[in-house]
Amino acid sequence: MEDTGGATAYGVSLAGGGFDFYKFIRQPQTIVRILSWIFALVVFASITTEGHVNTPHSPEAKCIFNQNDSACHYAIGIGVIAFLACVAFLVLDVYVPFMSNAKERKYAVMADLGFSGVWSFLWFVCFCLLASQWAKTHDVSGLPEDAARATVAFSFFSIATWGILTYFALVRFRRGVNDSTLPTYTEPPEDHHTAYPPTYAPTSYNPTTYTPTTYSTYPSSVPDMQPQPPFTPTPPPPADTGYQPPSY
């Protein structure tokens, strides 16, 4: 698990930072997942290569665990799926810090939690089955006893590693989103009594009758210019010629 001092989402720091390979490889979750990958490889590889031998009485190859082919097939199936799942979850662990959506991280952690829990139980069943079938195998002459014991032992170790992975996933799931340092936005309560959305509702609205405003005359220091009548020229008086009309 990643220990960060800032805001986190499901045990992983928020998206935006670079990927540190050395820090990732030193995480306990990564180490345990790699161990689970190795244990699964040992289990199905041991049975695939040395899990079937011919008996002196039959030319057909039989499972070394009390000649129970179902036990060998079960262990191979559980081991192969666990091997592939470890690779897939390692890739997912690398990709999770780059997820910006907290819901996607939640689904990734839930998938890890569910699969790890189920495989812890299936490995327990595998260990019990192989151990009981090996205990019932009385004639071990010509059988690869080291391969059989290694298969049983690493089946038991896988119970522990997948149980630890289940615990790590459970802690990450319970931690959830550390929103103490995350900016949050709260929607304003919706007002059902107004026709406007809450964001655009006017602060106040009082319908009143419109009253026109009258304005007084603005005083001015410039004298009023009265309109002048049109200019009419005055005719000159008649000239005095000294002529007197005759009197009768």
129-175 pLDDT per residue, tens:
999 999 998 877 778 888 899 999 999 999 999 999 999 999 988 88
Q: What are the b/e assignments for 103-115, b being 16+ CB within 10 Å?
A: eebbebbeebbeb
At 70-83, the pLDDT tens digits run 999 999 999 999 99
- Annotate 8-39 with DSSP letters as a single string: EETTEEPBTBPP-HHHHHTSHHHHHHHHHHHH
What is the C-alpha to C-alpha distance for residues 64 and 49, in angstroms, rounded to an integer? 11
CA angle 172, 178, 181 (to 5 degrees): 155
Find residue 177's DSSP bridge partners.
9
Distance from chain centroid for Cα 214:
65
- pLDDT in the model for residue 29: 92
- pLDDT in the model for residue 139: 79
Q: Does residue 93 sit within a domain? A: yes
- pLDDT in the model for residue 14: 53
* Burial class, 229, CB count within 10 angstroms (exposed 0-12 / middle 13-18 / buried 19+): exposed
- pLDDT in the model for residue 246: 59
- pLDDT in the model for residue 80: 96
When pLDDT is cut at 50, 70 and 90, the band that residue 179 belongs to is very low
- Which tokens in the block code for residue 53? 């031998």
What is the C-alpha to C-alpha distance for residues 4 and 13, in angstroms, rounded to an integer? 6
- Which tokens in the block code for residue 118? 């189920």
Q: Does residue 191 sit within a domain? A: no
Residue that has been written with the tokens 């345990």 in this structure: 32
How many structural domains is the chain composed of?
Answer: 1
- Would the pLDDT of 189 be above 80? no
- Which of 30, 25, 129 lies closest to 79 in space, CA to CA? 129
Looking from the CA of 9 toward its CB, the CA atoms found within 13 Å total: 17
- pLDDT in the model for residue 165: 95
8 Å CB contact between 51 and 151: yes
- pLDDT in the model for residue 102: 77
When pLDDT is cut at 50, 70 and 90, the band that residue 234 belongs to is low
Q: Does residue 113 sit within a domain? A: yes
* Burial class, 55, CB count within 10 angstroms (exposed 0-12 / middle 13-18 / buried 19+): middle
When pLDDT is cut at 50, 70 and 90, the band that residue 176 belongs to is confident
- pLDDT in the model for residue 182: 45
- pLDDT in the model for residue 24: 87
| DSSP at 196 | S
- Would the pLDDT of 203 be above 70? no
Count of CB atoms within 10 A of residue 46's CB? Answer: 23
Q: Does residue 152 sit within a domain? A: yes
- Which tokens in the block code for residue 198? 């809450």
State which residues form the domain around 96.
Answer: 31-181
- CA pseudo-torsion sign 191, 194, 198, 203: negative
Q: Does residue 227 sit within a domain? A: no
Q: Does residue 177 sit within a domain? A: yes
- pLDDT in the model for residue 236: 65
- Which tokens in the block code for residue 150? 């290694």
Q: Does residue 24 sit within a domain? A: no
- Would the pLDDT of 119 be above 50? yes
What is the C-alpha to C-alpha distance for residues 62 and 51, in angstroms, rounded to an integer? 8
Q: Does residue 104 sit within a domain? A: yes
Mean pLDDT of the chain: 78
| Percent share of the chain, pLDDT over 90 | 40
What is the C-alpha to C-alpha distance for residues 12 and 126, in angstroms, rounded to an integer? 33
At 3-48, the pLDDT tens digits run 444 555 555 555 445 667 888 899 999 999 999 999 999 999 999 9
Mean pLDDT along residues 47-72: 84
